[in-house]
Amino acid sequence: MVDVRWFYEGILFIYMLSLIGFFIDFVQQNRKAKKFAFWLLCMVWVLQTFFLFQHVLIEKSFPIATITDSLYFYAWVLVTFSIIMNRLFKMNFIVFFINLFGFFILLMHVSLVAQTQIVNSGIKLVDEILIAHISLAILSYGFFTISFLVSLMYMVQYHFLKEKKAIKWMWRMGDLDRLEHFTFRTISIGVPLLFIGIILGFVWAYTEQVEFYWFDLKTLGSILVLCVYTVYLLLRMVRRFSGKTLARYNTYAFLILIINFFLFTRLSNFHI
């Protein structure tokens, strides 16, 4: 079971990196990120296919006998379709959401496997899902913090430029367009990290049978933070907002993040 546990951890980690790459390409039209994400997705497919054939050849059965096995096969089918669509049809929008759904299906498979395992390795798998949940959430908060600081730099420089006050050290911050683009890029990375972290948190809570986790203040606060930063991306990409308006919005978003991190954590039923 230890080898299987490491297999699940590895494939989920690679899948997660692929999702982040596809998301960055989705919001930034970044060809390098798209190429990186595609090859990572191919690695996921190879690993899934290897495990699939191992199941067929060694156990002499096709993985559809139980709901747990069927979920794994379902995830493999989605990865296969997304690779074909990516190469033949260039449907980036659909490919991203197919992979997002496939990742969720694979997580469901992992959670069911962990629930049915009584041995220590099954418990370790659940614990490591919790560690990944916390780590990704904190990492996303790090990117959001950087975006907040850059937005502050943007507003300071904007103020001095508007007042036509030239200060030597001000130019070390970088020009306004560069600061705004950097803010957008950091939030583009932070959003998928937080989203995957929240999904992992739901999987852990479901596996551990934690009560009322849907209505926990920290859970609701994390979803609110995700929604607020997602709105930032939509405002920039769809509504074409820019400049001081987005910088000010980002400072308010960071205030919500701070409230969630310090206040809602204390009021949570099961968060530390």
Which tens digits make up the pLDDT trace of 100-157? 888 888 887 777 776 665 444 445 556 667 777 788 888 888 889 888 988 888 888 7
Q: Which of 33-37, 150-154, 208-212, 250-254 has the lowest mean pLDDT?
A: 208-212
* Single-letter amino acid code for the residue at 108: M
Mean pLDDT of 250-255: 92
pLDDT of residue 120: 47
| DSSP 8-class letter at 1 | -
Which tens digits make up the pLDDT trace of 27-81? 878 888 888 989 999 999 998 888 888 777 776 666 665 677 777 888 888 888 8
Are 145 and 241 spatial neighbours (Cβ–Cβ below 8 Å)?
A: no
pTM of the model: 0.73
Cα–Cα distance between 27 and 24 in angstroms, integer?
5
pLDDT value at 2 more than 60 = no
Are 169 and 227 spatial neighbours (Cβ–Cβ below 8 Å)?
A: no
Torsion over CA: 229, 230, 236, 240 (sign): negative
| DSSP 8-class letter at 83 | H
User: Which residue is associated with the tokens 């989705």?
Assistant: 26
